[in-house]
Amino acid sequence: MHLAKVGHNVCLLDTDFHGPSIITFFRKDPRTQWLNEYLLDDAPLENCLEEISSQLGITGKLFVGFADPSASAIETNIRINEKMSFKMLKNLMKIGKQLEGSSYNVDYLILDSSPGTTYSTVNAMVTTQTSLFIVKLSNADLLGTSQMIAGLNKQLKSRSLVLANLIPKSVIQDQAIISQLQSLIENKFTQDIQNKYVDFIGWIPIDESLIQTEFLEAVKTLQNKNSSRLIYTLKQPDHSFSTTLVGLIPIIFEEND
């Protein structure tokens, strides 16, 4: 969202077909087909991307490919076989070329994938230049992520970055604790992954206001009221969550400015 806000053309694809979440941030036009239909049924790409910058009032173009959140679509993806996965990979690899054309002129292509080693997640990893793994500081998450990267060592040709999520704001403000944690995390991943080097790039803070906002929106959903998740970089650009994410952009995309 920040990249599009400052004038870049961005395409965001929801390839988390087991738990689609991008649709919870935006209003989808019912005429737009699902990304599933492009990858599995060869629907035209232009029918499966929605340009939503006008509804958000931002300068750059933001194209979004939504994953189908219906139970039947999720069940289909759970049962995907190797042949179907290969078809999805072929179609996914075509997207980059199409988005470079004058119809889109996209500067950044970002894929949101599901955790674990599903077909769709592996396809996303082998398609992109950089894989960003977002982990919580819990035993299960750290162990699972490091073992997943180690298991995908041969397939992962891209840069591998690790970002710690949901870190209490008070902890991040203590430089001594942060330095110690960073060293421990890097040692853990180096130990588990061995010859595959992974860059640890930082921390995403969380505070009471962010937790409360997410909670209240979830309650609206339970009450069948209109609800949409807050896009912090757009609505609260000065929040520590927003400024942290914006500060990480040059690292993630290997940019100098």
How far apart CA 182 and CA 187 sit, in angstroms, is 9
Distances (CA, A) of 141 to 41, 98, 153, 206, 224: 34, 35, 18, 17, 32
The domains of the chain, with CATH numbers, are 1-127 (3.40.50.300)
Give, for 86, the enclosing helix (H) or strand (E). Answer: helix 82-100
Residue 131 · residue 158 · CB < 8 Å: yes
How far apart CA 31 and CA 91 sit, in angstroms, is 21
Percent of the chain with pLDDT over 70: 86
Model pLDDT, residue 193: 62
Q: Which tens digit of pLDDT belongs to each residue from 25-50?
A: 888 999 999 999 999 898 999 999 99
How far apart CA 148 and CA 33 sit, in angstroms, is 32
Task: Compute φ and ψ for 17, nearest 5 degrees.
Answer: -75, -10
Cα diameter, the chain: 53
Model pLDDT, residue 37: 93
Model pLDDT, residue 176: 79
How far apart CA 227 and CA 222 sit, in angstroms, is 10
Model pLDDT, residue 139: 58
Residue ranges in the chain whose pLDDT is less than 50: 257
Helix (H, G, I), strand (E, B) or coil at 111: strand
Residue from 220, 216, 213, 199 nearest 242 by CA: 213
